[in-house]
Every structure is written in structure tokens, then in C-alpha cells.
Amino acid sequence: MDAAMLYALRDPAGVPSHPLVFLVLGVLTWALHIAAVQVMLGASALTLYGAFSRNPYWRRLAAAMLSTAKVAVSVAIVLGVAPLLFVQVIYDPFWYTANVLSARWVIGFIVILIVAYLAMYLFYYRNPRLATQPVRGAWHLVISLLLMLVVGWIMHVLSYQMLLPEQWMSWYAPNGQIDPSGKSLHGYSVTRFSFFILLSVAVVAAWLFAYRRYLMGRNAEDAGYIAWLLPLAHRLMLVGGVLAVASGALWLATLPEKMAWFATSAWIWVSAAALLATAFFPRLLGHKLDQSLWGYVPFALGAVALIVVGTAREALRYFTLFGSHGYDALDYKVNMDWYSTSLFFITFAVLGGVILGYLLTVAWKAGQTEGVYTPSRAITRLGNLSIGLLVLWVVQFFAVGFYVWAR
């Protein structure tokens, strides 16, 4: 498609800050989102396997991973909003076109996600004592997992279709006949989708290392269960590393011609190094995994690796659209809005930091305490500060809104 046409599809109002800000935030928030997605997928798979095992440790792990999966879905949904907003700001000609071409699936996305979420909760409701009682209604979790994959496939297709503007007209008007129904999913790459889904094996392995270290803080925790978790996490990390490299190589081998440059770029070597470091680092740590915060390092390193992979993914999008279609996302017209930009970063750093810090601290302390947990005065003050900041944010938001309206 002609570059002039793509530029004409941009929002004439421009963007409220430099496009690079949206590019960087898009990568970071996508990495956090995909980490939650992969934890959810891996935890769901472990739940299904462990629920039918006679091994009491597997049953116990299944119950823990079920709780992990349902929380991970919530986190993935919340974090998934941000990268969508950022990508639609600077890639709006591509993102909106891709959505219109498959409009029914875009609308169905929400319905499918709701059904998948409810199916997981129904399984959770029917198995309150999964660690000790026979599994009931396993098909609910199977349906949930399959529908989650369908949701992921829809998002994959939309992201891939935006990279192929040269095919938009053939999809919209096949054989010269206009089809405005939006009923079809047009562009996709099975190998690319498989790579990001199979990464969940390594990610959930990293999560197991952190889960195991967390349990070691409980005095009454079963030492046998903790010892059993270690080789399982190592095996999953090794398998996950192999699957990531193999599926990634297959994806690179099947790249279309205009994206073939990506297969030999520095982005790939850096990403591969980050993934391999994540896979082998737990082996290098050895007994340090049982000490201090070292047990959490594999998951932290995995998060960094996902940011690296997310950066490479963004580079593929940016340079493909720039090199093949002459579209430069970084030359978007800037109509600087200091209020909205400042509000975002203050909300993220101050409000988000304090509230998230309070919630994580309470969750950590409660999990490490036998019986009923009573927060200390310092933590209580942190909770009150969180509420106060949230109220202050709401008040200033409406105050500014009324001020602008009154003018």
C-alpha cells in the first residue's frame, strides 16, 4: 500500500507525547501481559495433569496452580489493555484496519474471553479441595484452556494482519467483490503463534522456582514437597528452553520475504541469548536457589528475557512497516499534552507503586504467617496511604474535568 495513504489514515490531532514514549511503554506492558498469559497457560496445564495424578504432591501442586491460573487471568486482562492502547496510538492506520477486516472476531473476542474465564471459575468452584478429593468437571478447565488459546489466536491474527497492508484490498474485496462482513481471519503464522505459546513452559518453570522459594519461608511447610518441586522445575525449564529455541527457529525459517531480514538480525541473537540464559541459570545457581532471594532470580530473569523478546518483536513490526511500506511510527505529529503525560507517569509510579507495594506486602506476609495475619502499624499506614492517594487521584481527575468544561 502507498505510504501516502497510510499517513492519510493517521489521526490529524497527533499524539500527546513523543511516539518513542508509546513505543517503549508498549514493549514493557506487552512483556508484563504476556508473562501473565504464559503463567496462566502453564499453570492450567499443570493443574489438568496434576488433578488426575495419584501422587499427593502432584495433587497439591494442581490445587496451587489452579489458584495461580485464575489470578493470572485477571492480571493478564488488566495488563493487556495497556499495550493495545499504545499500539493503536502510533500504529492506528494498521491496527484499526486489521480490526475492521475481522470485526466479528474482535467483538467475539470479549464473549469468548468471558466464557473462558467463567469456565475456569466453575472448575475452581467445583473443586474446592482439589489436593485431597477426586477431580470434578475437568472438562470445564479443558474448555477454558482451549478458549484462552482461541482468544490468543485472535489477537495474534490481528497483530499479524497489520503487518500485511499489501493484502488488505484482496481481503476486503476478494475477486473484486466487496466483503464488509468482517467474518474472516485472514493473515496468520502458526509458527509465530506456537513460539509465544510454547514459551509458557519455561515461564511456568521459572514461576515454580519462585513458588518453591516462597514456600520455604513457612516453618510448617512439608520438606518433601519442596524437595519434589525442585527437579520438576528444572525439567520443565530444560524442556521449555528446547521448545523455545526449536519453535523460534521454525518461526524464523518460515518468515515471509519482506520479514526475512529479521532471521539474521542482532535482535534474534540477543533474544536467543536472553532465553538461553534464563533456561540454564537455575542450574548454575545450584544450592543458592534455597538461599535468600536467589530462588526468585529465575523468574526475574525470565521477565527480563520477555522484555528482550518483546523489544525484538517491536523491532520486527517497526522496521517491516518502515522498510517495506515507508511508514515511520516515530515521525507522528506531536501535540504535547503535559497534563495527561504527567498524570500517567505519576499514576504509574506513585499511585501504582504504593498500592501495588501494599497489596504485595500483605499477600507476602499473609502467606508467610500461620493462622490469622494481623498487619503491623507500618503496613496499616501504607494501606491508609494507598486509599488516600486513590481518593486524591479521583478528586483531581474530576476537578480538572469540571475546570476544562467550565471554560
Q: 153-172: per-residue pLDDT in tens?
A: 999 999 999 999 999 999 99
In sign, the C-alpha dihedral spanning 180, 185, 188, 192 is: positive
Q: Say yes or no: 270 and 384 in one domain.
A: no
Q: Say yes or no: 25 and 136 in one domain.
A: yes
Of the given ranges (175-179, 216-220, 281-285, 364-368), which has the lowest mean pLDDT? Answer: 216-220
C-beta separation of 21 from 341 below 8 A = yes
Of the given ranges (24-38, 172-186, 213-227, 380-394), which has the lowest mean pLDDT? Answer: 213-227
Single pTM value for the model: 0.92
Q: Mean pLDDT for the chain?
A: 92
Rounded (10°) CA dihedral 234, 240, 241, 244: -170
> Mean pLDDT, to the nearest integer, of 14-35?
94
Q: What share of the chain is helix, strand, coil (3-state, %, to 5)?
A: 80, 0, 20
Q: Say yes or no: 98 and 170 in one domain.
A: yes
Domain count, the chain: 2
What confidence tens digit (pLDDT) does each residue in 252-287 have? 999 999 999 999 999 999 999 999 999 999 999 888
Is a pLDDT exceeding 80 seen at residue 327? yes
Which of 310, 336, 362 corresponds to the end of one domain? 336
Q: Say yes or no: 163 and 242 in one domain.
A: yes
Q: Say yes or no: 357 and 239 in one domain.
A: no
Q: Say yes or no: 299 and 360 in one domain.
A: no
C-beta separation of 310 from 25 below 8 A = no
Distance CA 273, CA 169 (A): 39
* pLDDT on residue 51: 92
* pLDDT on residue 220: 63
* pLDDT on residue 219: 63
Q: Say yes or no: 133 and 233 in one domain.
A: yes
Confidence class for position 37, pLDDT limits 50, 70, 90: very high
Which of 336, 367, 385 corresponds to the end of one domain? 336
* pLDDT on residue 376: 87
Q: Say yes or no: 219 and 342 in one domain.
A: no
Rounded (10°) CA dihedral 263, 309, 158, 317: -60
Is a pLDDT exceeding 90 seen at residue 362? no
> Mean pLDDT, to the nearest integer, of 91-113?
95
Confidence class for position 305, pLDDT limits 50, 70, 90: very high
Is a pLDDT exceeding 70 seen at residue 351? yes
C-beta separation of 368 from 218 below 8 A = yes
C-beta separation of 156 from 191 below 8 A = no
C-beta separation of 73 from 113 below 8 A = no
* pLDDT on residue 368: 72
Q: Say yes or no: 301 and 341 in one domain.
A: no
* pLDDT on residue 386: 93
Q: Say yes or no: 301 and 193 in one domain.
A: yes
* pLDDT on residue 221: 65
> Mean pLDDT, to the nearest integer, of 194-217?
93
Which amino acid is present at 250? L
Distance CA 209, CA 204 (A): 9
Distance CA 207, CA 212 (A): 9
Confidence class for position 223, pLDDT limits 50, 70, 90: confident
Which structural domain range is residue 361 located in?
337-407
> Mean pLDDT, to the nearest integer, of 101-129?
95
Q: Say yes or no: 262 and 404 in one domain.
A: no
Sorted by sequence, the CB contacts under 8 Å of residue 137 that are 6+ apart come out as 122, 123, 126, 127
Q: Say yes or no: 355 and 332 in one domain.
A: no
